[in-house]
């Protein structure tokens, strides 16, 4: 009865989320249509007032005393300019709504199991990792793809790091996990803020190359400046020179002074400013000019973060770290735009001749480096932290049926689950299981093919990874401690390196022993040890291996078809325990997918093969 009630509410929650995004997409569509309609009026106004402007100018040349035509033309030009400004603002709003629509549509598709809009992180997959390959952390339909809402490569890297590096490996403790959980829960509730954040990254995962920005900023710190640029009196002298030019220009208008003097002075200013700064600005442009787009996005992301109201300690800490970042990145963006505008030769000439713009631009670059040297990299990492939390918050929001895990401070392997199931399965269809793992004990799980052994092992591992990151877990209750994890479920051969399947298995088990020896407590999850050899050799080798690991600080869950391994419970009842996934064979075979105590007795390989051969005749 209780499970039926829980399933009912899970269904209601999921339908509510789908309905929410359907309504939001409809609202965005209405807003976009209204703005596009407004755009057409703006375009009509621009064409109309520009035509009238031309008409007044023509009329001025045709009628005597047509000064009033110039006044009307000026008024038309002013109105035309205002309409252009409103049109540009309206276009930006349409573009922003388009990006938001992309984000919301991807979230709506995710509710139906389509995660193709999000990066799958396949490039993070390393077969030698302790558990990433076996637990489907990366690749199509992986945990990473279901989580990933990052908009920069640094954010993507940070999310991948959290999934592949457990707290036991880098000194994070249960207190850190609790702070992480609080931050995730906070961002989960900020759906509007999260969607806007993702939309700032053009609505596509990992589109902004943080590495390029970091490398450009690091290279920028190596730029050398002329000695005279470093002199603190230089700006005063430059301002005085500009003042002299305008005084000469004024004297030229109101006194007999000829224009030769201000023109000569302007040319001197251009020469001094241009030739003193050209090399430095060219180097700066080559170093960082190519990341103008990325810098602009970072400005928007950081503004969005610093403008938010956070309450969890972790998000507040990151926000405080970014306190000075909006102004600094905005200033950097302004400098990059100024360097980019130097491509307009005529504009560059007059700006240097009249205002010595290159000289002041070099001074701005040097001043920026002095004030923010080294800090920009830390700001990029802070944004990456928020991106990882946003991804996890979105996952939490998408799965209201999941529960918070209890992470204990026990100095041992502790894993107590009630109603555990795999995150990739629908909560309405998944079969839930209860299971407890005690420190130093080994659990031998037998069962037929397709009975649910491998899925159960992956459910154990992937829910533990979620718990270690402060994420919701897919169980009615889950209590775990902090320990290391190692799995061996998908070992494969490597023909390019001359490694056979059996040799690959041995190398994997050797890696297991090596890594477990470095850790205080390790949970190992194994699926069919030594399947690459004959049955008797496999049994003897498996027994030998399990006897060895039983002497180490290791706890294990081992799935096998080899019933003989279950005899370990008889010889070592204090350490080994038998569990199974039993099936029912008959006219139609039944797979309950429930784990129970004992040893499986029914095997289905011969049964299914006979059935297949019978149907083929």
What's the 3-state SS for 478-506?
EEECCCEEEEECCCCCEHHHCECHHHHHH
pLDDT digits (tens, 9 = 90+) for 8-32: 334 444 558 999 999 999 999 999 9
Report H helices in 63-165. Answer: 67-111, 143-147, 153-164
Q: Which comes out higher in pLDDT, residue 121 or 289?
A: 121
Contact 444, 568 (CB under 8 A): yes
317 has a pLDDT exceeding 80: yes
In angstroms, the CA 479 to CA 485 distance is 16
- Percentage of the chain modeled with pLDDT above 90: 55
In angstroms, the CA 403 to CA 474 distance is 6
Q: Determine the distance from the C-alpha atom of residue 416 to the mean position of all C-alpha atoms in its chain, rounded to a whole number.
A: 31
Q: How confident is the model at residue 5 (pLDDT cuts 50, 70, 90)?
A: very low
Q: Which comes out higher in pLDDT, residue 9 or 70?
A: 70
In angstroms, the CA 86 to CA 80 distance is 10
In angstroms, the CA 451 to CA 582 distance is 7
For residue 223 the two structure tokens come to 């730029």
Mean pLDDT score, 338-361: 89
Q: Which of 26-30, 275-279, 451-455 has the highest mean pLDDT?
A: 26-30
Query: What pLDDT does residue 528 have?
Result: 86
Mean pLDDT score, 178-186: 96
Contact 119, 475 (CB under 8 A): no
**Three-class SS state of 74:** helix
Over the range 491-524, which residues count as b (16 or more CB within 10 Å of their CB) and which as e? beeeeeeeeeebebbbebbeebeebbeebebbbb
Max intra-chain CA distance, the chain: 117
Residue located via tokens 């040319």 = 267
Mean pLDDT score, 270-290: 87
- Weakest mean pLDDT among 2-16, 285-299, 401-415: 2-16
Query: What pLDDT does residue 537 have?
Result: 79
Query: What pLDDT does residue 125 have?
Result: 92
Query: What pLDDT does residue 9 have?
Result: 37
**Three-class SS state of 579:** strand
pLDDT digits (tens, 9 = 90+) for 494-548: 555 556 667 888 888 999 999 999 999 999 999 988 876 667 777 888 888 998 8
Residue located via tokens 């049994």 = 539
In angstroms, the CA 324 to CA 105 distance is 34
Q: How confident is the model at residue 86 (pLDDT cuts 50, 70, 90)?
A: very high
pLDDT digits (tens, 9 = 90+) for 364-406: 988 888 888 778 889 999 999 999 999 999 999 999 999 999 9
The structural architecture, per CATH, of the domain 403-492+499-616 is 3-Layer(aba) Sandwich (3.40)
Question: How does DSSP classify residue 431?
Answer: P
Element housing 449 (H / E): none
For strand 403-404 and strand 472-473, is the pairing parallel, antiparallel, or unpaired?
antiparallel
Mean pLDDT score, 552-581: 92
Q: How confident is the model at residue 588 (pLDDT cuts 50, 70, 90)?
A: low
Over the range 411-430, which residues count as b (16 or more CB within 10 Å of their CB) and which as e? eebbbbbebbbbbbeebeeb
Question: How does DSSP classify residue 152?
Answer: B
- Percentage of the chain modeled with pLDDT above 70: 91
Query: What pLDDT does residue 2 have?
Result: 40
Strand order through the sheet with 554-560: 484-488, 522-527, 554-560, 442-447, 576-581, 595-597
What's the residue count for the chain? Answer: 617
Question: How does DSSP classify residue 425?
Answer: S
Q: Which comes out higher in pLDDT, residue 388 or 60?
A: 388
Query: What pLDDT does residue 542 have?
Result: 86
For residue 103 the two structure tokens come to 């984000």
Domain ranges of the chain: 1-112, 210-398, 403-492+499-616
Residue 530 burial class via C-beta count within 10 angstroms: exposed 0-12, middle 13-18, buried 19 and up: buried
Query: What pLDDT does residue 607 have?
Result: 61
Average pLDDT, the chain: 88
Contact 322, 382 (CB under 8 A): yes
In angstroms, the CA 220 to CA 222 distance is 5
Paired strand residues for 578: 444
Query: What pLDDT does residue 61 have?
Result: 81
260 has a pLDDT exceeding 80: yes
In angstroms, the CA 584 to CA 324 distance is 66
Within 10 angstroms of residue 608's Cβ, the number of other Cβ atoms is 15
In angstroms, the CA 612 to CA 610 distance is 5
160 has a pLDDT exceeding 70: yes
């Amino acid at each position: 009865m209780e499970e039926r009630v829980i399933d009912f509410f899970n269904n209601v929650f999921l339908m509510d989320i789908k309905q929410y995004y359907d309504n939001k997409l409809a609202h965005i569509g209405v807003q976009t249509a209204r703005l596009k309609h407004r755009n057409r009026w703006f375009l009509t106004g621009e064409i109309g007032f520009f035509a009238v402007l031309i008409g007044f100018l023509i009329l001025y040349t045709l009628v005597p005393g047509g000064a009033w035509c110039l006044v009307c033309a000026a008024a038309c030009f002013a109105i035309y300019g205002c309409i252009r400004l409103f049109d540009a603002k309206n276009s930006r709003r349409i573009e922003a709504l388009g990006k938001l629509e992309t984000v919301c549509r991807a979230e709506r598709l995710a509710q139906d199991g389509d995660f193709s809009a999000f990066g799958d992180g396949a490039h993070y997959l390393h077969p030698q990792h302790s558990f990433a390959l076996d637990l489907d952390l990366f690749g199509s339909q992986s945990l990473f793809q279901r989580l990933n809402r990052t908009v920069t490569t640094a954010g993507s890297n940070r999310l991948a790091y959290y999934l592949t590096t457990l707290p036991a490996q880098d000194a994070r403790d249960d207190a850190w996990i609790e702070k992480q959980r609080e931050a995730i829960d906070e961002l989960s509730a900020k759906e509007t803020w999260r969607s806007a954040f993702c939309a700032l990254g053009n609505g596509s995962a990992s589109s902004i190359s943080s590495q390029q920005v970091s490398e450009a900023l690091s290279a920028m710190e190596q730029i050398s400046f002329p000695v005279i640029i470093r002199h603190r009196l230089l700006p005063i002298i430059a301002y005085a020179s500009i003042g002299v030019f305008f005084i000469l220009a004024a004297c030229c208008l109101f006194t007999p002074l000829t224009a030769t003097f201000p023109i000569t002075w302007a040319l001197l200013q251009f020469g001094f400013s241009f030739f003193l700064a050209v090399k430095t600005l060219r180097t700066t442009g080559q170093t960082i000019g190519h990341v103008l787009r990325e810098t602009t996005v970072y400005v928007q992301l950081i503004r969005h973060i610093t403008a938010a109201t956070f309450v969890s300690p972790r998000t507040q800490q990151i926000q405080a770290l970014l306190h000075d970042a909006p102004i600094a990145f905005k200033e950097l963006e302004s400098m990059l735009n100024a360097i980019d505008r130097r491509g307009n030769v005529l504009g560059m000439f007059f700006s240097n001749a009249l205002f010595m713009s290159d000289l002041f631009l070099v001074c701005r670059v040097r001043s920026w480096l002095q004030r923010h040297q080294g800090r920009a990299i830390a700001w990029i990492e802070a944004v990456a932290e928020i991106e990882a939390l946003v991804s996890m918050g979105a996952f939490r929001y998408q799965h209201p049926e999941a529960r918070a895990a209890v992470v204990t401070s026990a100095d041992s392997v502790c894993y107590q689950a009630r109603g555990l199931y795999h995150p990739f399965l629908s909560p309405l269809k998944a079969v839930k299981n209860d299971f407890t793992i005690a420190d130093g004990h080994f659990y031998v799980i037998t069962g037929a093919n397709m009975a649910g052994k491998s899925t159960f092992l992956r459910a154990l591992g992937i829910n533990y990874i979620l718990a270690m990151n402060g994420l919701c877990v897919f169980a009615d209750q889950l209590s775990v401690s902090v320990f290391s994890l190692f799995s061996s479920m998908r070992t494969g051969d490597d023909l390019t390196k001359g490694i056979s399947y059996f040799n690959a298995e041995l190398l994997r088990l050797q890696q297991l022993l090596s890594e477990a020896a470095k850790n205080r407590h390790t949970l190992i999850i194994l699926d069919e040890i030594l399947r690459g050899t004959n049955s008797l050799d496999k049994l003897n080798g498996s027994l030998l291996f399990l006897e060895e690991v039983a002497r180490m600080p290791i706890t294990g869950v081992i799935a096998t078809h080899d019933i003989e391994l279950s005899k370990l419970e008889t010889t070592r009842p204090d350490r080994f325990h038998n569990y199974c996934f039993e099936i029912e064979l008959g006219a139609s075979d039944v797979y309950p997918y429930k784990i129970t105590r004992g040893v499986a007795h029914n095997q289905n390989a011969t049964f299914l093969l006979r059935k297949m051969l019978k149907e083929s005749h």
